[in-house]
Structure 1
Amino acid sequence: DVVRYDALLDHFEMRNGVEGLEYIVPVETVKAIWNCREIAAASPRVGAMIGPTAEHADIAREVGFEWTPEGEESLYLRSRILLACRESGLHALTALWEDLENIDGLRAFATHGRGLGFRGMIAIHPKHVETINDVFSPSDKDIEFYQGMVDAYEKAASDGVGALRYRGLHIDKAHYDKAVGWLERAATITNH
């Protein structure tokens, strides 16, 4: 399917003088869940994939899960998509929150998704956008923390030290690498 869409999109781009369009691929069938790695790597146009969560969508019907606000029933499904995205360098999105009025539930669900490693979420309604942006956007406090970690590690490394304490935490090269990657992602979101 991805290859077929590529042919159509190539034609559209050439005909209209457009370039660089990417796909956001929803994964809502059992077959797609099983083949998510192949889908993620099927085309350079695949820019993001969505880990399924919806109570009333195709994936709920296909798998037969009973939805809960905590999302445990879709954790495995979303985790497969998350790992496929990480392996292929794609943007991992967690799917939507259907309860339009329950903003506190949305915030909790989005925060849990961010904690799992998702870097965004699909909004089903405009009133959800502010909360989703708030959860998935780095705060100034987070930026200051990770920049401080990078600075502390680089200073220690220049003195020949490979591990140190930073704000009561043990940090080493792995922590530094995560902080650098986190700051790079934050810069693309916040334009810092």
Structure 2
Amino acid sequence: MTTIHPRRSVLYMPGSNARALEKAREIPADALILDLEDAVAPDVKEAARAQVCAAVKAGGYGRRELVIRVNGVDTPWFMDDLAAATEAKPDAILIPKISAPETLQQIGAQLTGLWADPAIRIWAMIETPLAILDIERIARAARDPTTRLSCFVMGTNDLAKETRARFVPGRAPMLPWLTSAILAARAYGIDIVDGVYNDLKDEDGFRAECEAGRDLGFDGKTLIHPGQVAAANAVFAPDGAELSRARAIIAAFDQPENADKGAIQLDGRMVERLHADMAKRVVALGEAIDA
């Protein structure tokens, strides 16, 4: 099984806010997106870039994944952002508005030219109608190791803007787009993180959307405020009962008498070997979270 990175809570932090970058060292999010794009005004882009890269180099964020979101490839800041981020060596660089696989191949070539550390991954924002229409080919780009593609991040606010879809409880207008992205991600071994929830006062609505996203298959949720971290961490983690059930399934198939069986009965239920594979991932995720 490949190494699992818990991405239950992925918190955006404005790159222009030094106090927020410092505070982020203590926030129990699984990953931090240090943002140079939407959260930063044009006149402070360069200062934010320097500040974010200095924070990443300084470290002190523990085992949190650090991701730098650069400005889009069609902006005047992109190449300087990419070069600076490459030098800072975050865990990943998040690219906005990926709408075609060719963009990922272009960025891969640019990273090669910058002699980027091989460990740096690329995360792709899925936030345009063209991205949804071409989602399978975009995900397939992960098969090309030069693209470094490892994670999709849903940009639901931008999708709503571009399509004029309304935000309603349950997100019915967006469900076909969300599930298409999840299917494509899973087909090519990519993690995928849900979009943000905008109403900071609606804790029940936020938790309900986390639960719905988890049930759809998302690995976690992007967040806009530290107050959302605890709920996301709880919802996207296996609970005690789920872990106990998973361990029981693994133990049952480990019994010598079940070594050659494709299906067994456990506690009155039919369990197939594929359930054992699913159970191993649940246990591995729980262990990664504990670590």
State how far apart, in whole Å, the 2-side matches of 1:187 and 1:52 are: 29
Cα distance in 2 for residues equivalent to 1:163 and 1:119: 28
Three-state SS of the structure 2 residue aligned to 1:122 is strand
In 2, Cα distance between the equivalents of 1:177 and 1:161? 14
In the alignment, what sits opposite 2:112? Answer: 10
1:16-95 to structure 2, matched below 5 A, reads 18-43=117-142, 44=145, 45-53=148-156, 57-95=157-195
Provide the C-alpha distance between the structure 2 equivalents of 1:90 and 1:187, rounded to a whole number of angstroms. 20
Q: Quick one: distance in 2 between partners of 1:134 and 1:12?
A: 39
**Bigger strand fraction:** 2
Cα distance change on mapping 1:12 and 1:107 into 2, 3 Å: farther
Q: What SS class does the counterpart of residue 98 from structure 1 fall into?
A: coil
Residue identity opposite 2:273 in structure 1: K
CA distance in 2, matches of 1:70, 1:123: 18
Determine the C-alpha separation between the residues in 2 that align with 1:61 and 1:42. Answer: 26
SS at match of 1:42: helix
Partner of 2:10: none
User: Does 2:224 align with 1:124?
Assistant: yes
Matched length = 184
The answer to whether 1:115 aligns with 2:218 is no
**8 Å Cα contact 2:193-2:219 kept in structure 1:** yes
Return 5+ residue gaps in structure 1 as ranges: none
Distance 1:38 1:189 in 2: 32
Structure 2: how far apart are the matches of 1:37 and 1:161? 35
CA distance in 1, matches of 2:210, 2:267: 27
Task: State the shift of 1:11 in Å.
Answer: 4.0
Unaligned runs of 5+ in 2: 1-102
Shift of 1:103: 1.5
Deviates more, 1:110-119 or 1:36-45: 36-45
TM-score between the two structures when normalised by the length of structure 2: 0.58
Q: Contact 2:258–2:264 (CA<8 Å) still a contact in 1?
A: no
Report what 1:157 is aligned to: 258
Q: 1:140 to 1:11 in 2, by over 3 A?
A: farther
Instruction: Confirm or deny: 8 A CA contact 2:238 2:282 kept in the other structure.
Output: no
DSSP-derived class of the 1:41 partner: helix
Cα offsets for 1:68-125 (capped at 9, x unmatched): 1211111110101101110110112111111111121111101111111111111111
Tell me the SS of whatever aligns to 1:165: strand
2:276 corresponds to which residue?
Answer: 176
CA RMSD of aligned residues (A): 2.0
